[in-house]
A and B are shown apart, each in its own frame.
Chain A
Amino acid sequence: MMIGSERSGAQDSAELDRPLNRAELEHFCRSGLIREACRDKAFASFRDSIDWLLWLRLWTGTIGAIFLLAGVMFFFAHNWKGLSPLTRFGVLEVGLVLTVIGAVCFNVRATVGQWLLVAASVLTGVLIAVYGQVYQTGADAFEVFALWSALMLAWVVMAKFAPLWVFWLVIVETAMMLFAGQVLVPDRIADWSQVFIGMGLVTFGFLALWEWLHPKERFSTFRQNWIRFLLLAAGLFWLSAILWRWMFDLGYQSDRPEWSRWAGLLFWLVAVIGGICFFTRLRPSVLGMSLCVLDAAVIFSLMVARVVLEDTWDEPGGWLIGAVFAIGIFGGATLVILRLAKGSAGDEETGQGEET
């Protein structure tokens, strides 16, 4: 395929209506496209259009909240002996109550209220950890995370806030991984391939849920592409991990059944092919489709390397075959990306990356 594509009038129009960046203005001035007498005015106008207060507020708020919550977590992680159990619970519970009341006062759908619910959710986790620490409940780590995710579920549903939703998902998946590491695998109920299949399915299940919900007006706050890429990348990671472990014999147990690896391969193939079809036809997304294509390219290249170099790593022929295959695989991947991107040119994600 030749590299090239046509330009549409709609894209041109959109291009003329988007805010210019400084590099473009500099080019206009340098090439004399802006009248010399107006250059200073153009730069002054550009400087005025930069929203510093909003930027400062956004970042001081975000960094401040992260600092504060991390500080609270470290405070209790320190296992401070001088603090009586009553004080520990008191501080945490007061903090929890205040954040929840604050969220209700500000409205749980307002930005401040939503971030306060995130804070409340973090404090809930710390409270559970401190409870286990004080009363030595002997609870396994997965139980703590499972309880945490259960307790914050109501806030997640109420707030309809994407970061809180993702945070909850991270806790759920952590609980699942800990459960697998502490119960399923040691008790030989399942092997890691089966666990990763489960993790992949859960993650792709949430991706499907997101794809179903976000077009609805009630869930418009979820219309943020980063959630899609996060979930897709996580889902592909879990399924790809089965193949990496298989290829490089990591943690291989000869007495465990082989079918789980084959099942992992099958699920991975379905995920990659399904992802390419879905993000090409149903929900055009160049980035989503590219993630699937690139994951496949990396896996296939590693597979070829593993097969070719297994016994002949000190012979040039194997390396040559590896190079030829890698060129073919990545060239093919680029070709697929270009072909599919051309079909959805003008889609919001095909831009220069700014929109994403």
Chain B
Amino acid sequence: MKVSVELFGAAREFSNKAHLDFELVENSSIKDLRNQMIDFVDLNFKGNETFKKIIKSSAFCSSDDKIVSDNYKIVKKQNFSIIPPIGGG
């Protein structure tokens, strides 16, 4: 199933587009999605450690703006956002 991840903050450096799409098997979790994003960085950015650190320290939120844990099961085609560490003001 296709999962789209909207990019924010430092994660915007991962693509010229506002989002990245990933193909996950059913019953995957946010942890699996996180690992796929790390694989994406390995493949496209020669394992850029800064990018990987961003992914590891980021939260993910669902399309209704709720932060979801690594154990959250993705059961259908869904959109998420990656929320890197914040710091406005």
The reply to whether chain A is a binding partner of chain B is: no
